[in-house]
Amino acid sequence: MYSKAFVEALEQKSCDIRGDILMMLKEAKSGHSGGSLSSVEILTALYFYKMKHNPMNPDWDGRDYFILSKGHVCPALYTALAHSGYFPREELKTLRKFGSRLQGHPHWLKLPGLETSSGSLGQGLSVANGMALALKLDKKPNRVYCLLGDGELQEGQIWEAAMTSAHYGLDNVCAIVDYNNLEIDGYVEEVMGIHPLVEKWLSFNWHVHECDGNDITSVIRALDHASQMKRKPSVIIAHTTKGKGVSFMEDVDLWHGKTPSPEQLEQALSQLDGACSVFKPWN
């Protein structure tokens, strides 16, 4: 269904984005590694395959909208935006620095390509609903995507919003859960379990799609499937690995809010090198 060359190009893009995330986090010396890395394929699939958008004209009203509810993984979003052409890749180096457009948590009034400001968890799905309701009022076909963390689902507001999307039949909303099993204090199931997740969304009257969230083909298949659904909102439960792509970060809670040292970066990039050959480091 999807050509091999196309899938390989997206895999290459994911690899490049991973490399840039690691480099910008090393530069910034603070920020969120684990959840950024787990969401790379999701963002790649959205920005380089699924979403209609125009980096030359970020305000284009024909665009689909992406709401990053788990704002702390903005390094992944910033990198996807830079690679799309919203701003120079060089600027990624300024993450979290004074005067930078790349705030520690995203602020839409500073950087083209961002749609909202986030960082306080639990609010993005409601915002997506408001946008989707407005699009319905205006009889517009644009879609609204919203990326949520699995720990974030512990926020009660998420479930208020889940009721709203279903109540108003917002089939133009697609929520994506980055189901990496970890939050700050440890495994989600140990901190405050969200299991059984599929059943929860089903009982809230959503279409539910599951995929391997670190496999491009699986993600784009789920996105294509979701966009065909009518009358109900769709959620994609994307099974991922926190810290994906870097052996010593994978599935380790400590890497949630930790950044690589220069030595660790080198080691991490060499692991990416093995997977993909084209990635070009800065400097």
Ligand X SMILES: Cc1ncc(C[n+]2csc(CCOP(=O)(O)OP(=O)(O)O)c2C)c(N)n1
Query: Which residues contribute to the site for another protein (CB under 8 A)?
Result: 107-109, 115-120, 122-124, 126-135, 137-138, 156-157, 160-161, 163-164, 167-168
Stretch that binds ligand X, among 34-42, 136-144, 193-201, 208-216 (CB under 6 A): 34-42
Residue pair 99/129 in contact by the 8 Å Cβ criterion = no
User: What is the 3-state secondary structure of 167-194?
Assistant: HCCCCCEEEEEEECCEECCEEHHHHHCC
Grouping H, G, I as helix, E, B as strand and the rest as coil, residue 91 is helix
**Can residue 115 be called a binding residue for ligand X (CB under 6 A)?**
no
User: Which of 70, 89, 69 minimizes the C-alpha distance to 79?
Assistant: 89
Side-chain-side CA neighbours of residue 281 (13 Å): 14
Grouping H, G, I as helix, E, B as strand and the rest as coil, residue 66 is strand
Cβ proximity to ligand X, 113 vs 151, nearer residue: 151
Grouping H, G, I as helix, E, B as strand and the rest as coil, residue 104 is coil
Cβ proximity to ligand X, 172 vs 243, nearer residue: 243
Stretch that binds ligand X, among 40-48, 174-182, 203-211, 213-221 (CB under 6 A): 174-182
Q: What is the DSSP letter of 99?
A: T
What is the x/- site pattern for ligand X, positions 53-92, by CB under 6 A?
-----------------x-xx-------------------
Q: Give the shortest CB-138-to-another protein separation in angstroms.
A: 8
Cα distance between residue 172 and residue 137, in whole Å: 12
Q: Give the shortest CB-178-to-another protein separation in angstroms.
A: 20
Options 16, 115, 150, 215; binder of ligand X; rule CB under 6 A? 150
Q: Which residues bind ligand X (CB under 6 A)?
A: 32, 34-35, 38, 70, 72-73, 119-122, 149-152, 178, 180, 182-184, 242, 256
